[in-house]
Amino acid sequence: MSNDTFLPYVYIGGSFEQLYRREYPNLVAVARALTGDRHDGEDLVQDTMVKAFVNWDRIRRYDKPGGWCLRVLTHACRDHWRRRRTRARFLARQRNTEPSVEGPGVEFVAFWQAVRRLPQRPRLVVTLYYAGDRSIADVASIVKVPEGTVKSDLARARVVLMTELGQ
C-alpha cells in the first residue's frame, strides 16, 4: 500500500491493519526522535500497537485513533527516557557505536540530539510536529495545551536549536 493512499481518520468500521500501516511511519519517527535509538524506538512502537490492538474495540470509535497511539507512545518514550538516565554512563558508551546501521545523516542526528536536550514540552512539541508530521492543532490536542502554546514552543525551540546547531 502506498504511503500516499488516503485513509480517513475516522476508523469506525476501519481495520486495525489500516491503522497500523498508516500510523507506523510517523510513530516510529517520533519514537526514534525521542529515544535516540532505532531499535528501542521500534520496540516502543510495537508495544504501543499491541496496546492499540488489545483496546481496539474502544479506540476504533475515536475520531483520531492515531492521536491516542501518539499519546501512549510519548508516555512510553518518557518512561523509557527516565529509565535510561539511570544508565547514562553505559548509554554514553553505547551512543558512540549507534550509527553503525543505515540511518539519518550526521546533521539530522545532531538535530535530534539537540531536540532531546530541550525541556520536556518543547521537545515533545517539536518531535510531534516534525517527526510525527502532525498539524499544530493535532499537537495541541495530543499534548493538551492551547494551539498558541504549541506555536510559541515551536518558535522558541527554533531559536534555541538554530543557536545550538550553530547556524
> Residue 92 or 107: which CB sits closer to other proteins?
107
Nearer to other proteins, 57 or 92 (CB): 57
Query: Cell triple for residue 27?
Result: 510513530
Alpha carbons 23 and 132: distance in angstroms, whole number: 9
Exposed, middle or buried, 138 (CB in 10 Å: 0-12/13-18/19+)?
buried
CA–CA separation, 111 vs 105, rounded Å? 10
Q: Which is nearer to other proteins, 94 or 162 (CB)?
A: 162
Per CB under 8 A, residues contacting other proteins are: 3, 12, 16-17, 20-21, 24-26, 28-29, 32-33, 46, 49-50, 53-55, 57-58, 61-63, 71-72, 75, 78-79, 82, 102-105, 107-108, 111-112, 120-121, 126, 130-133, 141, 143-145, 158, 161-162, 165, 167
